[in-house]
A and B are shown apart, each in its own frame.
Chain A
């Protein structure tokens, strides 16, 4: 919660500063409000934008305290789109499963989903985790499709990408962290897993080695979390900055260039949305695979 607020404030502040400097050179004062207005599309908010209806307030709950930590369970825009993504994912997956159950050779939409599932199995899971990794397929497939849908929802008009919020990615990274440890423990047993934390060195070096190994366990999911968040937020901020150029110069003639650029960036964003979902999945699979092959990993 705290990290989220901090990053959120930091990014919005940085962007406001950048654009504000431009606006002051541009002259007029009313433009600064437009920037703040624009930036609110990037950050999380407590209201939803709906076409033709304007803004809709989302239900809010008063914050409460658990062991000294203030918890605010209010529904925000990103939470809403997280649920939308989950709903879409359930609908797609169940429809595809129903269609594929009856026919041996899938057609149409069932075929499309099967291509993606087979791609994850043959290109991501088996090369990184071996045939033993097949039983972790449900988790990896869910991660891939969930992140993909969340990323793509940010490109839909009036939508927002929940992955552009560090809390969402942190949640996904925590699940990845648990799954990585579970995969390692289930393959080798708790004893071997703990023995691996010593790095196989002389016991006199354990005070140095064990903290480093434990730190290594946490950096992997932390990197996953920051990578996804930064990639999604960076794309949105680039688009806002380019659109902001129109307001900096305050002229219709300038609009031609930024709109062209934004179209290009938007197309790039579609690619980035798919790529980041793929990277999150393949890195999770790789880290799980590393944990599952501790023995051979140490020998070679």
Chain B
């Protein structure tokens, strides 16, 4: 396998790892938020807002990784 092939492999594995991390993070976050708003429905609005913010931050980190993978795949 030449270096270009290895680059593609690395990009694929990297994208998969990044998505696993992001998915796990947002999943745990959503689970906690659901639980919180189930326990205290009166603060559901505030919980949702903080959930969206935290989800956006996790998503941002995932996108950094995915951008690196895209650049790697096209080198």
- Chain A residues proximal to chain B, CB less than 8 Å: 6-7, 9-11, 13-14, 17, 123, 127, 223, 226-227, 230-231, 275, 278-279, 282-283, 286
Contacts and interface: CB of A to CB of B under 8 A. Distances in A.
A226 B63 contact: yes
Given A13-B74, A226-B60, A279 B52 contact: yes
Contacts of A231: 59, 63
Nearest to A275: B52
A172 B73 CA distance: 28
A223 B60 contact: yes
Interface residues of B, number: 16
Query: Chain B: interface secondary structure?
Result: helix
B41 to A, nearest CB: 18
Contacts of B57: 223
| Those 8 A-B pairs whose CB atoms lie nearest each other, nearest first | A230-B63, A223-B60, A10-B74, A13-B74, A279-B56, A227-B60, A10-B70, A226-B63
Interface string B40-57: 000000000100110011
B59 A226 contact: no
A226 B74 contact: no
B31 interface: no
A14 B60 contact: no
Given A7-B67, A10-B74, A226-B63, 6 more contacts: A10-B73, A226-B60, A227-B63, A275-B52, A279-B52, A279-B56
